[in-house]
Structure 1
Amino acid sequence: MDEGWLLPYSDMLTLLLALFIVLFAMAKVDNTKFQKFKSEFGTLLSTHQSSNSIISIGKKNKAQGSTLSSASSLESSSSITSQSTNNQLMVIKQQLATNLQNSGLTNSVSVYIKSNDLHIVINSNILFDSGSATLSESTQSLLTSLFNPLKAVSTNPIIIAGYTDNQPLKLNSIYKSNWELSSARAISVMNFFVDNKVFNEDNISIQAYGENKPKDTNATAAGRSNNRRVEIIVEKNSSNS
């Protein structure tokens, strides 16, 4: 029940008592009785102020408790949503790993979670011929093993990044630099997934690094092979973060 009516009521009583004291003083009442009455009035006034403080503190604590409860609920809800999103990406990762193993692509495609995002790294050697950005039919057939798991995150922000090694392109190449080649390869992979309705083109962005940001040494053939890659990054959906 709301106790807000106590404040004006107690204030009115205090004013009435003050009025009675003035009247008594004007009537020149017995000094001993007046002092006794004054003492009792002081005790009553002290009790009134203490009561007001208790009511005020009670309301303040109630408001603070409500605010803390709301903040705690929001934090808990955010934590549950974030955990749910992370669990979804982990499930997709496991499904992709199983499909890649069944397709014999575990040596050419790696899948892992990094900074709460899903990373799919595809060795360019299985995607393209040297200096080319055209996906062969056999490669497209292999990549279909990624379709079903990735459709579950089609609304998430997607980044497709292209990388090359540091070897110069052939003189007859249609690309002027490794940067252009890495861009063309990323776009080719993007078109493949968009055309097959795996990803929504509104959610995709392209990144091209050329020979920059190698993950292995360019001093060996094996290292350069690891550096030639296309990476698909599935980020957490912003609406769920």
Structure 2
Amino acid sequence: MGRLKFLVAIPLIFALCGCSIILQKRNPKDLDQIDNLSDELKKERQAREELLRAKKELEEQLKKEIEEKKIKLEMAKKGLVITFIAEILFDSGKTVIRDEAHSVLDKVADVINNKLSDRNIAIEGHTDNQPIKHSSWKSNWELSTARATSVLHYLVDNKNANPAMFSAIGYGEYRSVASNDTAAGKQQNRRVEITILPEKIIKKTSGEEVVIPDLDEIK
């Protein structure tokens, strides 16, 4: 019986040794992958912590506008979202930023320039579903895009923000956040959103392709 146990044990020992050798061969690569994943998670956590600190600072500086529901700050999956109702930035049907809005955008620009100057930032324009009537704009798409671009130019041209950080897009009335059946709902839909992404700017070197994050994929 003892001899039988010995004979059974020998193949098992060799099998275990073989597994050990295979694991040893794979371990360096596996460990590298684990280290890389750990580094990525650490960077992502640090990036979101920086956004949270920026959010807190903006909440203090924009306290009055937030209380009046003219501005909303939100930490979303895609990043820090700063939402302005259109009336705080523009006159009806217009794309020129009102003088009264400069101080508000200046505060946002200061935080971006001092704390988040290496981030990708997307500026989105949105409208309600009222058709364009007394305006030179063909549709709400053109109006919303022009408003997003106006905010971009203010931050870049007036506040010297890095132009490589920004993109601007208009969605017209097609990304509503409230019902257009009420005046209050329409007011919420007429808005400009500045989204500061956790991802940093990818600096292009010769022969390399720059990949810009797609907001739709991370919403």
Under a length normalisation based on structure 1, what TM-score does the superposition of the two structures give? Answer: 0.70
Does the Cα contact within 8 Å between 2:165 and 2:201 map onto a contact in 1?
no
Does the Cα contact within 8 Å between 1:162 and 1:229 map onto a contact in 2?
yes
Which residue in the other structure is 2:65 paired with?
A: 105
What per-residue deviation string (whole Å, max 9, x for no partner) do you get for residues 166-214 of structure 1? 112333x121211111111111111111113453212211111111111
Distance in structure 1 (CA, Å) of the matches to 2:173 and 2:71: 19
What per-residue deviation string (whole Å, max 9, x for no partner) do you get for residues 129-180 of structure 1? 1111111212112322212222222221111111111112333x12121111
1:160 matched to 2:123? The reply is yes
Amino acid at match of 1:79: L
- Do the aligned partners of residues 92 and 52 (structure 1) sit closer, same or farther apart at CA in structure 2, a change above 3 Å counting? same
Which residue in the other structure is 2:105 paired with?
A: 143
Distance in structure 2 (CA, Å) of the matches to 1:150 and 1:113: 16
Amino acid at match of 2:127: T
| Paired residue secondary structure (2:72) | strand
Which residue in the other structure is 1:210 paired with?
A: 172
Residue 58 of structure 1 and its aligned partner are, at CA, apart by 5.6
Amino acid at match of 1:105: E
In the TM superposition, structure 1's runs of 4+ consecutive aligned residues that sit over 4 Å from their partners are 51-59, 238-241
Which residue in the other structure is 2:193 paired with?
A: 231
Larger Rg: 1
1:184 matched to 2:146? The reply is yes
1:81 matched to 2:39? The reply is no
Q: 2:89 aligns with which of 127, 144, 147?
A: 127
Would you say how many aligned residue pairs link Structure 1 and Structure 2? 191
Amino acid at match of 1:225: Q
Unaligned runs of 5+ in 2: 1-9, 203-212, 214-219
| Paired residue secondary structure (1:147) | helix
Which residue in the other structure is 2:136 paired with?
A: 174
More helix as a share of residues: 1
- Do the aligned partners of residues 215 and 67 (structure 1) sit closer, same or farther apart at CA in structure 2, a change above 3 Å counting? same
Residue 55 of structure 1 and its aligned partner are, at CA, apart by 8.1
Equivalences for residues 35-50 of structure 1 within 5 A: none
| Paired residue secondary structure (2:132) | coil
- Do the aligned partners of residues 69 and 174 (structure 1) sit closer, same or farther apart at CA in structure 2, a change above 3 Å counting? same
What per-residue deviation string (whole Å, max 9, x for no partner) do you get for residues 62-108 of structure 1? 3233233222222211211111111111111111111111xx11021
| Paired residue secondary structure (1:210) | coil
- Do the aligned partners of residues 98 and 56 (structure 1) sit closer, same or farther apart at CA in structure 2, a change above 3 Å counting? same
Which residue in the other structure is 2:27 paired with?
A: 65
